[in-house]
Amino acid sequence: MNILVCVKQAPEPEAAIEIDEASRWVRVRGDSLPRMGRFDECALEQALICKEQVPGTTVDAITVGNSAGAAVVRRALGMGADRGMHVLTRDEGYVSAFTTASRIARAVQDRSYDLVLTGVVSDDLGQGLVGPMLAEMLSFVCATSCVSLRVDTQQAIAVVEREMEHGITQCVELALPALVSVQSSANRPRYPSLSNIMRANREELETFACAAFEESSHAEELVRLDHPRRTRSVVFLQGSVEDKAKELLSLLRGRSLLR
């Protein structure tokens, strides 16, 4: 079985982000480094579990982005992916999901994958679009937000549980080839192993030059960035930890919330 996992790096969720007026994008304050998205790691982990369960399975990891993106592919190799692919762009900042999905589809158009896995959303843009768009472009059946995946290569099916609202999951059987976007679950992503890291650092990534992408007729354009609207006007308590605790207790008693 051939599996493709789409990965991307993003600032870690706790990183301090500020708007950069000059570039009309953001910059990260402080020294945190970008890392593989949380759900991309889950997708990769799921691929590696499939590889362990089905002999003869290869796992390719692909990213789309500028040269800094190679690091996330090497991370995927470190975790156990077999081959790394990098669609090299010069993009900085906001890129339409349609463009990203198209670039992946174009890169793999002559390959034959049984299963494509993506994270349900990325940590930076959080759109949840690239996976299902890519499925449509590849003409693969698609299931998103999956918390479990079981592949039966004999029957050429994948059985997934899609997580919905209110604690309900929908169990679906998909005919391969399929695209599955992965939601977090009890499968904790593994750490890269030392031998895999060494191999990853030596490995040649397959790099795809990105021809200037023709402007598609259906496009989104970033007009501006802003800070989110508040739904409540916060009052920050001041002073030491002790002062703030005392003040909060007094506030809560005043509101009859504390006995």
Partner 1 sequence: MEQTIAVIAEHEGGSIARASYEALGCATEIQRIVPAKIVVVVMGDLAGDVGREIASLTHASVVAVHVHGLHSYDGDAYRSVLADMLLELHAAWICVPGTTQGLDFAPGLAVRLGASCVSAVENVLEQAGRPVFVRPLFNGKIVAEVAASIPTVVLVQPGSFPEELGERERMGSLEERSIAWQPTRSRVLGLKTQEPADAALSEAAVIVAAGRGMGRKEHLEAVQRVAGLFARSAVAGSRPLCDQGWLPYRQQVGQTGASVSPDLYLACGISGAPQHLIGMRGSKFVVAVNTDPEAAIFRHADIGIVEDAETFLSELSHQTEGPSGS
Q: Is 170 in the site for partner 1 (CB under 8 A)?
A: yes
The structure tokens listed for 96 are 């339409």
The span of 43-51, 64-72, 110-118, 247-255 binding partner 1 (CB under 8 A) equals: 247-255
Give the distance from CA 212 to its chain's centroid.
24
Residues 180-199 that bind partner 1 (CB under 8 A): 183-186, 188
Q: Tell me which of 1, 11, 77, 180 binds partner 1, using CB under 8 A.
A: 11
For the sheet with 141-152, list strands across it: 157-163, 141-152, 178-182, 115-119, 2-6, 58-65, 83-88, 206-209
Q: How far is the CB of 60 from partner 1 (least distance, A)?
A: 22
Can you tell me which of 55, 56, 167, 254 binds partner 1, judged by CB under 8 A? Answer: 167
Smallest separation, CB 92 to partner 1 (Å): 15
Question: At closest approach, how far in Å is the CB of 28 from partner 1?
Answer: 9
Sign of the torsion formed by the C-alpha atoms of 139, 143, 144 and 148: negative
74, 72, 194, 58: which is closest to 124 by C-alpha?
72
- The count of C-alpha atoms lying within 13 angstroms of the C-alpha of 145, restricted to the half-sphere facing its C-beta, is 11
Q: Which of residues 207-236 bind partner 1 (CB under 8 A)?
A: 217-236
Q: Which of residues 118-157 bind partner 1 (CB under 8 A)?
A: 123-129, 131-133, 135-137, 141-145
Size of the site for partner 1 (CB under 8 A): 87
